[in-house]
Amino acid sequence: MKRLLDVARWVALAVVAAFVVRVLAGDWTEFWRALRSIAWPWAVLSLAALVASITVSTYGWQTVVDGLGDRVGYRRGARICLVGQLGKYVPGSVWAYLLQMELGRKAGVSRARIFTGSLVQFGIGLVAALLLSALALPVAGPAVWLLVLLPAGLVALHPRVLAWGTGLALRLLRRDPLPRPLGFASIARAFAASVLAWTLQGLHLWLLAPSLNLWTCVGAMAIAMTAGTFAFLLPSGAGVREAVLVALLGTAGFSAGQALAFALVSRVMFTVADLLTALAATLPTRESHAQPRESHA
């Protein structure tokens, strides 16, 4: 099974590389013209929007984890969430979850609680992305079918439904139940944080390509980032996110070369923002020396 996954991973990477080479070979001039069109002040603001997005998203994650037990707090939660998320750059989505669980255990928070919090936050973020994808309807094309999933997603966010699903997952994993279910207030705050985080990511794209409509950028980023998340064979969804962005921007009137330039710049900025926020989260604070502990189950 492991060998089969390795082969599939290399095939996926080869397909991504072929896609990039094909676009560059056919639209090299437009690619460089688009890169040169990005003024550095707008690039700095675009990166700042991404840092803000990650900061807000981390608050949503911390809210969920706090709602499942004793308070973790933002600084402590950021170290677990942001450093752990760097695992997504290793092929296979599971690494980010495993790293977060291990960091949580070292910080005195149970693995089950960290895993459940990350999984629930992923689901909340997915529903928020489905909602915002409606903003990209003018350019979404076949992606419109995503909206069919929205009603089911909203129902799944009800505290009772979410508690049932969380309990079932923990039983299947043979883990002890969490101290308390997630309340409506925690879900609402996490959902609002996800909506704001997606909006800031759309702002990031709009600052790179201001000729687009801002709300179209928000919807496009929500669709592209969600697609990239499910491409678990590739490091951080590399290639899938860019392919979706190229398709959406192409529908909005950009050439393939221009669209790929913006998508690749966005990819680099996401990596830089992830590294900057993870580094900031590791800076020592007074509270680092006194952390409450709980079961490591």
Residue pLDDT, tens place only, 255-276 = 878 888 888 888 888 888 999 9
The answer to whether residue 291 is domain-embedded is no
Lowest-confidence region among 25-29, 35-39, 77-81, 173-177: 25-29
Query: Which stretches does DSSP call E strand in 208-281?
Result: none
Residue 134 is assigned to a structural domain of this protein: yes
Q: Which of 149-153, 239-243, 267-271 has the lowest mean pLDDT?
A: 239-243
In a domain, 18, yes or no: no
- Whether residue 104 is contained in a domain is answered as yes
Task: Quickly count: other Cβ atoms within 10 Å of residue 210's Cβ.
Answer: 14
Looking at the predicted structure, is the pLDDT value of residue 196 above 90?
yes
Length of the chain: 297
Distance (Å, rounded) from C-alpha 240 to C-alpha 227?
Answer: 7
Q: Is residue 130 part of a domain?
A: yes
Q: Answer whether residue 283 shows pLDDT above 60.
A: yes
Would you say 181 and 64 are in contact if contact means Cβ atoms under 8 Å apart?
no
Asked if residue 290 belongs to a domain, the reply is no
| Token code pair at residue 106 | 């070292």
Full residue range of the structural domain in which residue 75 is found: 2-10+52-285
| 130 Cβ contact partners less than 8 Å away, ≥ 6 residues apart | 146, 147, 149, 150, 153, 222, 226
Number of alpha helices (DSSP H) and beta strands (DSSP E) in the chain: 13, 0
For 171-183, write each residue's pLDDT tens digit.
Answer: 777 776 776 778 8
The total domain count for the chain is 1
| Cα–Cα nearest to 20, from 245, 244, 242 | 242
